[in-house]
Amino acid sequence: MEERHVVQISKELSLKVVQVAATIAMLDEGGTVPFISRYRKEATGSLDEVAITTIRDRIEQLRDLDKRRASILETIEGQGKLTPELQARIMAAETMTILEDLYLPYRPKRRTRATVAREKGLEPLAVLLMEQGQTDPEAEAAYYIDKEKGVETIEDALAGARDILAEHINEDSTARDKIRTLYRTEGVFVCKVMTGKEEEGVKYKDYFDWSEPVAKAPSHRILAMRRGAKEKILSLHVQVDEEKAIAILESAFIKDSCPATPHVKAAVRDAFKRLLSTSMETEIRLETKIRADEEAIRVFTANLRQLLLSPPLGRKRVMALDPGFRTGCKLICLDAQGKLVHDDVVYLHQSPQKDQVESERIKGLCEQYQIEAIAVGNGTAGRETEAVLRTISFGRKIPIVMVNESGASVYSASDVAREEFPKYDVTVRGAVSIGRRLMDPLAELVKIDPKSIGVGQYQHDVDQNNLKHSLDDTVVSCVNSVGVEVNTASKQLLTYVSGLGPTVASNIVAWRDQHGPFRMRHDLMQIRGMGDKTFEQCAGFLRIRDGINPLDASAVHPESYSIVEAMCNDLQCSIVDLMQNPELRDKIELNRYQSEMVGMPTLLDIKTELAKPGRDPRQTLEPIEFTEGVNSIADLKAGMKLTGIVTNVTAFGAFVDIGVHQDGLVHISELSERFVKDPSDVVKIQQKVQVWVLDVDVDRKRISLSMKMPPEKKPQPEDKRQKPKAREGRPQKPPSRKPAEQRPRSKKDEPFGESLGIQLKRRG
């Protein structure tokens, strides 16, 4: 069975069988996706994390299908109804839906109308009707009258037989598949507001009288309609053309016209209206929910990845302010390692005189702690606080950066925060989180439940297990792609390192606190719970700067140290020389170091890493300055051009922070002059953008923005062609009236590709 799955997955993903087989084998042995992707390229054929994750998830699905298949076979066999033909069909079923359709007639069920009819002995009559011969149904039904069984009339007998037929039609796998296809291709979501819920459900106003094809409904609308139905604001149904569905069933079950035909037709209609339509609607609602979940989770994880990999400020001394009006601004100072060295409260926004006094205090603290950057939370009073800070003359350049504080309050009240800062209240912890986010977003955000970070789309409506699984994969991928400094990392950050978990991560921190910093990667073997397999998985992603071996600060795995040492011996140089001298690296003949275990992919990675040991793949931080004088939604006017930063990307557009405490929406149609299918193709989280205000609804706190330059703002091209003046007494030549295809072809008539081809030919 496993071999068949390997072949199936290789075909589905267009991969070689050996690649899939090797990947599954390493996953089964406890290998993590980042480790296999980074350090086992020879075995996988250099598959990336996406491909390995897909293989992992698909083999899990197929194994779950096998477990269900075995359970179904055992159940049917126990009933004594398992035929060779049925067994073959069950073994050939490739999806859970097909498998459950085959099992439906044998599934233990509650007492139904068909069950009651069978108890009355009417099944032979139902079989007779389904055969659709020339026998008179009424005459046959008369033999089944039995007052003791509750069959008092001929119609009672025929009605019971029709109930059995209806259940048979409903449970027929071929019929179900045809009707399922109809619902998938021609089904329509029909959404209405519940009576009397118009005012309460105003946020669902767009769906008060809404319908759209099931096949085309986007994720966000499916989830919005479902949420409205869950809150009992909306009614939501999936409908198809009833007569078309019944016609499909009749073509499958009705034979030539005969005395039994009216009864079979009645059973078909009853089967659809009473059984199949309800069953299919439930199936399609679940199927579209899964589809919508997958898309919402995809968007969420893409946003989370971009946020986690936001450019870090790095190891700088930072002052952070959590702004406030009445209660003051909580101020903290951090050293270059992120350690809290001072906390205070400054009372800005009270009066110009008070601002002046407090500004001098801030300036003094910046001097005292040699502050190199200031982080300001973007919540209430954020822009106003930033404005005051920009009036202070520090005597040197200190960048002032607005920091997205989404989730900071969640962190400040968490067990993690209490463990880190047991002697401080939530206000101090929140300010620390803001400051550390500027220094290293990844290291700080891993402490917060990703659902609280504010970059998702209907994250509370999707399957929570699937969401957590995907988010964990994303965090693990980001952490390991950057690498972790083992001597400064928090327990939470270490938890996401390949192969480590909460227990070993805690043990690392405890050992570090007791014995001081690690000097070599192999010192990690002293940690309780760190076996050979765990060390193999995690070592390449842990960094030790300023350690004994310079390779410990790189992504070169300890298992490959001997290769680097061999290179150094051949070139008669040290490891440091090899890292610092590009001319030495150019002399490396990689093919000399190939073996059965080490191939060219690994050797190329080693050479690349030697050039930039431990390099951070994240970009450099570019602070953003919002438009001066625009601090609240009341300051906005249509047509304004503003600077903003993307805070969330959804299937229908992007939300942009423009510094007014309320993000504006750039609808997908306003993202670009060209057609945009997926907003993530155009914008990313934390991207700096220029936007224009389209509309402002102050009461509903809605801001509509555009990234397309308004027509009146676009530079108008000068028409350099001047029409020749007509000479007096001389008639003008009439314009050509020839069809376009008959006129001489000009340069501007050429398709762009052809024109470019001509240019390239001429240049070449």
Give just the sign of the alpha carbon dihedral 49, 292, 231, 278: negative
The C-alpha atoms of residue 364 and residue 376 are separated, in whole angstroms, by 18
Strand partners, 210: 191
Here the tokens at position 607 are: 């050479």
Phi, psi dihedral angles at 61 (to 5 degrees): -60, -45
Here the tokens at position 97 are: 């839906």
10-residue stretch averages of pLDDT, the chain, 764 residues long? 89 95 95 96 94 96 95 94 94 92 90 93 94 91 92 94 95 95 96 93 92 94 94 95 96 91 95 95 95 91 90 93 92 94 94 93 95 92 91 92 88 91 93 94 90 78 89 93 94 95 95 93 95 95 93 95 95 94 93 91 94 86 83 90 91 90 92 91 91 90 91 64 49 44 38 30 30
Tell me the pTM.
0.82
Residue 596: its pLDDT value, please? 85
Give the C-alpha distances (Å, rounded to integers) separating 576 from 291, 549, 565, 704: 52, 9, 11, 55
Cβ contacts of residue 135 below 8 Å, gap of 6+? 128, 259, 260
The C-alpha atoms of residue 430 and residue 467 are separated, in whole angstroms, by 26
| Domains assigned to the chain | 2-76 (1.10.10.650), 106-303 (1.10.3500.10), 318-439 (3.30.420.140), 556-611 (no CATH), 633-713 (2.40.50.140)
Are 225 and 207 spatial neighbours (Cβ–Cβ below 8 Å)? yes
Residue 108: its pLDDT value, please? 86
Cβ contacts of residue 405 below 8 Å, gap of 6+? 322, 377, 378, 379, 430, 433, 434, 437
DSSP 3-state of 238: strand
Q: Nearest 5 degrees, angle CA 38-CA 43-CA 47? A: 50
Strand ranges inside 279-389, DSSP E = 318-322, 329-334, 340-346, 373-377
Q: Tell me, what amino acid is at 382?
A: G
Residue 699: its pLDDT value, please? 82
Residue 737: its pLDDT value, please? 44
Residue 710: its pLDDT value, please? 85
**What is the DSSP annotation of 633-657?**
GGG--TT-EEEEEEEEEETTEEEEE
Q: Tell me, what amino acid is at 572?
A: Q
